[in-house]
């Protein structure tokens, strides 16, 4: 079943909200599609269902798709590439990354300029595109900051100047390293930052750096509004690196929402997209119905009374975090 290859554009959600991504000129949907799920990083899935999730995201008004060669060790890019063959290139912005790779046997990191350029061409082949709207250095906390600044970013800029990529960014979990590299790289070298788990119900630390990024014209992409599964009615994944205190507080918050006939996921999604200075928030799923639900939640009014109650429950673990792995 092919979507969006011909006349389906009239079905695209007219209610979606868009914000400018820093000074990039890209107007992105407040909710974006994170394609990590297409790599099977959360659970196995039927490929056809994954393709349907991508098509549904576009139909719902989502126009930014984020992926990486690291997700599923190239599987996510490969599956996404099959979907993109059936979607008009003007209907989405595409973001992928360099620096993190691996196989089923081991993870690898390579932030060299040569590997970055090589990786981008490999990604474009898997994705069936000849242009990447946004290329980011993936999880810079695993790299030497000086190499990112003096080697990785200049290599990406070569491709930007050649018209192969549109914009250059960095991603990571710890906030200080993102701010440090942005400051030390120099004016205009970084167009976007992608941070995860620091603008959610239990942790809003990202807000401390928003004015810095705004003053530098850097667009902000938020990811993991559910705290990688913490803010969910489902059981927190066994692999989750959060402390037991954080897990318990989030479970209590989820149960409180459930007792009120409300899903904490809805509260969390709406909370994440409501900040006017965060351009977009990534969500990832291979279930088309979940995409629809997430968009509906993002556009619905917030339950302010319940939000206050949940923030109070989470106050004891507010801004407590963990290391990336």
What average pLDDT does this structure show over 225-231?
97
Residue 3: pLDDT over 80? no
Q: Worst-scoring range by mean pLDDT, 109-113, 237-241, 246-250?
A: 237-241
- Say what the alpha-carbon torsion angle 94, 12, 78, 290 is, to the nearest 10 degrees: 110
Q: What is the per-residue pLDDT for 40?
A: 85
Contact of 323 with 91, CB cutoff 8 Å? no
Q: Which of 284, 255, 274 is nearest to 200 (CA)?
A: 274
Residue 7 has pLDDT above 50, yes or no: no
Q: What's the mean pLDDT when you consider all of the chain?
A: 95
pLDDT value, residue 11: 62
Please indicate, yes or no, whether the overall pTM of this predicted structure exceeds 0.75.
yes
The mean per-residue pLDDT over the stretch 256-264 comes to: 98
How confident is the model over 18-77, as pLDDT tens digits? 999 999 999 999 999 999 999 987 778 899 999 999 999 999 999 999 999 999 999 999
At 4 the pLDDT is 44
pLDDT at 10 over 70: no
List, for residues 266-303, the tens digit of each pLDDT value: 999 999 999 999 999 999 999 999 999 999 999 999 99
Closest CA to 220 of 210, 230, 228, 208: 210
DSSP secondary structure, 113-145, as one string: HHHHHHHHHHHHHHHT-S-EEEEEE--GGGS-H
The residues assigned a catalytic role are 71
- Cα 207 to Cα 38, 126, 225, 272, 323: the distances in Å are 30, 35, 14, 11, 19
- 310 within 8 A of 278, measured Cβ to Cβ: no
How far is 152 from 60, CA to CA, in rounded Å? 35
pLDDT at 166 over 70: yes
Residue 201 tokens read as 């119900």
Per-residue model confidence (pLDDT) at position 1: 36
Residue 290: closest CA among 226, 237, 235? 226
Give the angle 103-105-110 at the CA atoms, nearest 5°.
Answer: 50
């Amino acid at each position: 079943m092919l979507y969006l290859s011909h006349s389906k554009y009239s079905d695209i959600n007219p209610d979606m909200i868009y914000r400018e991504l820093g000074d990039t000129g890209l107007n992105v949907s407040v909710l974006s599609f994170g394609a990590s799920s297409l790599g099977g990083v959360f659970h196995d899935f039927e490929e056809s269902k994954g393709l349907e999730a991508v098509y549904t995201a576009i139909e719902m008004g989502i126009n930014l798709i984020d992926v990486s060669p690291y997700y599923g060790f190239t599987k996510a890019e490969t599956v996404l590439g099959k979907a993109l063959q059936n979607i008009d290139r003007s209907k989405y912005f595409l973001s992928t990354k360099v620096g993190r790779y691996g196989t089923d046997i081991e993870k690898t990191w390579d932030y060299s300029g040569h590997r970055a350029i090589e990786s981008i061409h490999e990604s474009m082949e898997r994705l069936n595109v000849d242009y990447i709207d946004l290329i980011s250095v993936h999880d810079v906390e695993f790299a030497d900051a000086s190499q990112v600044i003096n080697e990785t970013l200049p290599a990406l800029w070569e491709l930007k100047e050649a018209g192969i990529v549109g914009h250059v960014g960095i991603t990571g979990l710890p906030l200080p390293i993102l701010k440090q590299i942005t400051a030390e790289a120099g004016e205009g070298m970084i167009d976007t930052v992608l941070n995860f788990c620091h603008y959610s119900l239990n942790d809003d630390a990202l807000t401390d750096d928003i004015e810095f990024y705004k003053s530098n014209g850097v667009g902000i992409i938020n990811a993991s509004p559910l705290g990688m599964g913490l803010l969910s009615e489902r059981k927190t994944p066994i692999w989750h690196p959060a402390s037991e205190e954080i897990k318990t507080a989030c479970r209590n918050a989820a149960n409180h929402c459930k007792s009120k006939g409300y899903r904490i996921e809805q509260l969390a999604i709406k909370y994440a997209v409501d900040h006017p200075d965060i351009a977009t928030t990534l969500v990832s799923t291979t279930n088309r119905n979940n995409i629809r639900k997430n968009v509906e939640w993002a556009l619905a009014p917030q339950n302010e009374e319940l939000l206050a109650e949940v923030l109070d429950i989470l106050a004891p673990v507010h801004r407590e975090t963990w290391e990336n792995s």
